[in-house]
Structure 1
Amino acid sequence: MNASNAEPRSIDVNADLGEGFPHDAALLERVTSASISCGAHAGDPESIRCTLREALARGVVVGAHPGYPDREGFGRRDRDLDAQMVERLICDQVADLRRLADEAGVEIRFLKPHGALYNQAQSREATARGVVAAAVALGLPLLGQPGTLPETLARSAGVVYIPEGFPDRRYRADGSLTPRAEPGAVLESPDELAANVRRLAAGGLVQTLCIHGDEAEALANASRLRAILDDLGIAVRPFVPGRS
């Protein structure tokens, strides 16, 4: 194929939404996919319904964002659950979200665990096996970090795996995220965020970049991210193919 006729490189931009924060509608103008809370770690049925309707109106692809039922800790505190418990927790929460999504005429198109559930799955075998088993049972693609245990298990199980990067988070040398409990884990400098975006995009290892909807700088970060991708000549498109 002639290079001039080749389709430009693209990447998805996603946000974690439906958690009760005020930026959902505005963020949905800036993203191509949205991981929507299932109501266990945050959010409530009415706010989730509203976010689902807003996503549908903007053509944003919607996924399920289950987390540990720990509202006080926003789902960011570790739990010691076996694989079956993790699978059941996820499937039950996605069933709750699907009921709300059906009311709004929205299809759930992917699975992205939240907080500690996501982070523990990257390296803890029982958690990873439970997450992948849930993705199999639900018939959904799975989002996670590249080169991790969930990716290996998902690909072995025939689950579509979408590698994800985090522009607003600091990374360790081994490619893992710096834990939020450590100072500087969440980037506050626009220059650092820009450098992170360029590194993640240039590496070609991720198919989607995440904006955390609970951060005070969420809207500014989303706008910066889109501007940087535009400057790099990278189109923003959802990773899930469109439906006819």
Structure 2
Amino acid sequence: MVNSTASSSQTLIDKVEINVDCGEAFGLWEGGPDEALMPLIDAANIACGGHAGDPVIMKKTVALAKRHGVKVGAHPGFPDKAGFGRRVLAMSAEQAYAEMLYQVGSLKVFLDEAGVPLNHIKPHGMWYIMMQDNEELNDASMRAISHFKVPVYGMPNTLHESGAKKYGIPFIPEAFVDVNYDNKGVLLGVPGSRKMTTDDIYQAASSLGKKGLVPAVDHSLVDVGVKGQPFTICLHSDFKTCKENIAAARKAVNEVNDELYNSQQVL
């Protein structure tokens, strides 16, 4: 029986899930192998034209997710395609607020046209990382997210969680296994991480699901705030080994869910 005193995320998801960034092509530039990844995932974060994506790619990726029965979230990123949204970008609160509305709204039009609900919002890359501790950026972003009345994916015990609470946004805790945290549990993102093998990813996903602990960049184990509750694991589709990475995480997540959630009734 799942502990009823755990996070309210249990009313939103009832097991460990996998989410992957998708639709990250642009024009003639190819993104990840979304077609091959969809059968392995629970939710797709679709790029909204900021760090990647364009109207045609958004429409195609929504249709692909619908065909595979995959939940769709908006994946807004800094408007910086040259840096793939992974560089620090100075935005005022007014700009961040407007950019969030603009990008999520753009994807929502395609979801509405396809009859697919917007499941969640998850900022991308450096926007997501900066929202951990930049109060002005976090507040403006969360204020915009609140208009869409859907959950936000974020890191527990950071401004992601407290900012969502301030605006009454349902919060789904998220953790990472193909990029690293530092030894204090702060997400480093792609630029600061060591290369993870498929076995590293399997072990990290298994440890997260069963113990709430994940190896940091220095290999020490850190608590990232997901212990004892359902949460979502993010992986990246732009890595060369993304399919193998996601398959390894899927194996671990299925084992965790079989052990902890699938045979148990959620209160």
* TM-score normalised by structure 1 residue count: 0.87
Counterparts of 1:29-178 in structure 2, within 5 Å, are 29-178=39-188
Residue equivalent to 1:220? 244
Deviations 1:73-104 (A, max 9, x none): 00111122232321111001111111222232
CA contact (8 A) 1:140 1:160 kept: yes
- Aligned partner letter, 1:154: A
Secondary structure of residue in 1 paired with 2:128:
helix
Structure 1 residues 44, 178: CA separation in 2 closer, same or farther (over 3 Å shift)?
same
The more displaced of 199-208 and 52-61 is: 199-208
How many Å apart are 1:234 and its aligned residue? Answer: 5.2
The one-letter amino acid of 1:93's match is: Q
What is the 5 A alignment of 1:193-204? 193-202=201-210, 203=212, 204=226
How far, CA to CA, are the matches of 1:26 and 1:45 in structure 2? 21
Distance 1:31 1:73 in 2: 26
Q: 1:85 to 1:76 in 2, by over 3 A?
A: same
**Where in structure 2 are there 5+ consecutive unaligned residues?**
3-13, 26-30, 213-225, 263-267
Distance, in Å, in 2 between the alignment partners of 1:169 and 1:112 is 16
Correspondence for 2:220: none
Maintained 8 Å contact 1:32/1:236: no
Give the residue type in structure 2 aligned to 1:103: E
CA RMSD of aligned residues (A): 2.2
SS at match of 2:233: strand
With 186-195 and 120-129 compared, the bigger mean Cα shift is at 186-195
1:139 Cα offset (Å) = 1.5
Q: Which amino acid aligns with 1:34?
A: A
2:181 and 2:261 mapped to 1: Cα distance? 23
- Structure 2 distance, partners of 1:55, 1:179, is 25
1:188 and 2:196 matched: yes
Q: How many residues align?
A: 230
Aligned residue for 2:223? none
Q: Which amino acid aligns with 2:253?
A: L
2:17 maps to 12
Between 97-106 and 23-32, the greater mean CA deviation after superposition:
97-106
How many angstroms apart in 2 are the aligned matches of 1:191 and 1:22? 21
Closer/same/farther in 2, CA of residues 236 and 68 from structure 1, 3 Å limit: farther
Q: Which structure 1 residue ranges, 5 or more long, are not aligned?
A: 3-8, 238-244
Offset at residue 115 of structure 1 (A): 0.8
Identity of matched residues, %: 33
